[in-house]
Amino acid sequence: GIQVEQSPPDLILQEGANSTLRCNFSDSVNNLQWFHQNPWGQLINLFYIPSGTKQNGRLSATTVATERYSLLYISSSQTTDSGVYFCAVGLLMIYNQGGKLIFGQGTELSVKP
Amino acid sequence: DVKVTQSSRYLVKRTGEKVFLECVQDMDHENMFWYRQDPGLGLRLIYFSYDVKMKEKGDIPEGYSVSREKKERFSLILESASTNQTSMYLCASLTGGFNQPQHFGDGTRLSIL
């Protein structure tokens, strides 16, 4: 099956710093997403990005599908950015109707004031 | 906006009980998923469904069953709850083409005593 590896596993930043999170995956995929899990356990979709580059405020993401990796950039980090960031990749499996997402183990980010 | 609603935020049950966790989505998505999340183990897929009355086993289906009688509702059933099923349970939905973001409910923290 598809393997998903995220790095680094943990990251501590001072408020205002920038960071890059990486997601490597082992096969071609139909779907790639980045999620943020907040301290209350809620998983929030940040980007749906199977290829290309997207930006949303201080966050941006780039996926190079041919090289099987994706990057999540956080600029001018804030304490509210703390939490776990997950990359997930997906593949249609069942008669082009269904499939599943495979999640990486996550990067735990802590932003200090 | 997609809304995925889980019936309980916190739930406490006793060993041996039959437990139902309910999930409803309002976006007519074909795919629905149940995950559990435990510290150090990330998100693990229990079951998923790509259509009404269709179900597929995920990575850890033992001790669980599911029901999808209507497109908008996906139920997770713990047939005889055990203490090792104490966990955070997360429901998600995704469109059939796998070409849009997956959305999660807020999660249910289930404790089995």
Taking only the tens place, the pLDDT of each residue in B24-51 is 999 899 899 999 999 888 899 999 998 8
Per-residue confidence at B63, pLDDT binned at 50, 70, 90? Answer: very high
Per-residue confidence at A96, pLDDT binned at 50, 70, 90? Answer: low
Residue A62's Cβ-count burial label (10 Å; 0-12, 13-18, 19+) is middle
* Tokens 């949303």, residue located: A56
Contact A65, A51 (CB under 8 A): yes
Residue B63 dihedral angles phi and psi, to the nearest 5° = 90, 0
Contact A98 B99 (CB under 8 A): no
**pLDDT the model gives residue B32:** 94
Question: What does the mean pLDDT of chain A come to?
Answer: 92
The three-state secondary structure class of A80 is: helix
Asked if A99 reaches chain B (Cβ–Cβ under 8 Å), the answer is: yes
Mutate to test the interface with B, among A29, A40, A86, A97 (most CBs of B within 10 A): A97
The distance of A67 to chain B (nearest Cα, Å) reads: 20
Per-residue confidence at A94, pLDDT binned at 50, 70, 90? Answer: low
Residue predicted with more confidence, A30 or B77: B77
The distance of B25 to chain A (nearest Cα, Å) reads: 15
Per-residue confidence at A100, pLDDT binned at 50, 70, 90? Answer: confident
- Chain centroid to CA A12: 17
Per-residue confidence at A97, pLDDT binned at 50, 70, 90? Answer: low
Facing B48 at nearest CB: one of A42, A50, A100: A100
